[in-house]
Amino acid sequence: MPVPDPLLDRRAVLGLLGAGLALPRTLLAGELDPAAFTGFLDAPRPSFTLSNATVLTHDGRVLPQSGIQVEAGRVVALGPAVSGGEDLGGDWLVPGLVDAGCTLGMFDIGAEPSTRDDRDGPSISPTARAVDGFHPRSETLAVARVEGITHALIHPQLQGLVPGRAALVRTAGGTLDSSVRRASLALVVCFGKAGTGGEGGVDSRIGVARALRALIEEAPEPRPLTGRGGGGSWRENSAKAATPETESERVLLHLRERRLKVLAAADRADDIERALDWFDKNDLDGVILGGAEAWMVAGQLADAGVGVLLGPVTTQPDSFSHLHARYENPALLHAAGVPFAFRSGGNHFARQLRIHAGIATAHGLPHEAAVHALTASAGTILGVPGLGRLEPGAAATFFRATGDPLQPRSRVRQVWMAGRRTSMETRQTRLRDQFSSLPPR
């Protein structure tokens, strides 16, 4: 019996693959539905009403047998007095969730370098922007959106001293213009071992501290305010100050003038202390990013009035950078009066954000505090009015769920952004539908 030629087998396989090029495009790529590219199902509706629902507000209040009335993309009425329209049968209406720190939409396959746009080379890159690596049609955005995440603070990979600037995006839109809400919201600075490495980087915490002092010393001096009662604006004083010559100088000047926030990535308690000291000595508008051991310095954070973009909540004590990580971290910060918002810190698994908040409630965090940290708290900390809020006058950005969103068995049925229904389709659901029934052989 002749032995099959492996070369011929390979040719046969290649022939079959080549034949696929002649198949209809819709069979290979799916129906060319605009919603698959923008994330929206329809145009803005002039007005609509949803009733017979359990409304969960951004401050954690539960309003049974309530409804919501929307006009021109904004909430005009909310509560038990709203009736009529679509009957939701008791399902929950929840404010859109905000991931307060992740790399969502910045790569599709972690192990494939050609898809990664979440980092720059130099250790100090104040001019690098996360938004320049953001793909508004990334498949990861749909996966996050169908779990109720409507907005995300995206940042470069936390590697090197100054990896770049963070941006605020929403998980639908399909184009940069419609998806990006704030292209340059804060500058990210890494303390601890995260601040080491990178092209031209430093090797230790000593080097990180020295380089951060030098960064401020070399930055342009902030321009003084003038005007009645010490008021005024930076523009009024621009003629009295030297104009920054480079984009890097402009970024650092805005940092020193508190027109740009700084996110200090720090997990170990002493690194958080160093960040607080750096904020204070240089009069910076700072926020802690990460904070795995923040509970150990909760009193200092509260006294300084510094917020924390906290997470991942499930961080384990498996590194010398956070040996004292614990699930009670959010509860202890809340008890101390420290403002915080939840972050996933990831991309593909950003969808688990609400489950992380549920874990925090299982370890002592009050339910209403967890809801606030998932929704409106990020906007308060970052200075973005209206973000994550569900109240009259706010953008109609919310989702419908089968139950309490902090319970893992609750399922998200539908998501609205500014009054527009969004697609609940993902690559996974398309593959499921395509292969759930196969033709007979």
Q: How far apart are CA 288 and CA 267, in angstroms?
A: 9
Q: How far apart are CA 58 and CA 85, in angstroms?
A: 23
The two beta strands, 286-290 and 412-417, are: unpaired
* Angle, helices 367-374/353-362, rounded to nearest 10 degrees: 160
pLDDT at 81 over 50: yes
**Alpha helix positions (H), 89-204:** 139-145, 176-179
Helices (H) and strands (E) in the chain, counts: 15, 16
Q: What contacts 353, CB < 8 A, 6 or more positions away?
A: 97, 99, 147, 149, 342, 343, 344, 374
pTM for this prediction: 0.88
Q: Name the strand (E) or helix (H) holding 74.
A: strand 74-79
Alpha-carbon Rg for the chain, nearest whole angstrom, is 24
Q: What contacts 321, CB < 8 A, 6 or more positions away?
A: 192, 193, 194, 267, 268, 271, 292
pLDDT for res 439: 79
Sign of the CA dihedral 257, 164, 167, 145?
A: negative
pLDDT tens digit sequence for 11-45: 554 454 444 444 444 444 445 566 667 888 878 78
Q: How far apart are CA 361 and CA 346, in angstroms?
A: 21
Would you give the distance in Å from CA 394 to the centre of its chain? 20
CB 263 within 8 A of CB 287: yes
pLDDT tens digit sequence for 243-271: 788 999 999 999 999 999 999 999 999 99
pLDDT tens digit sequence for 324-370: 999 999 999 999 999 999 999 999 999 999 999 999 999 999 999 99
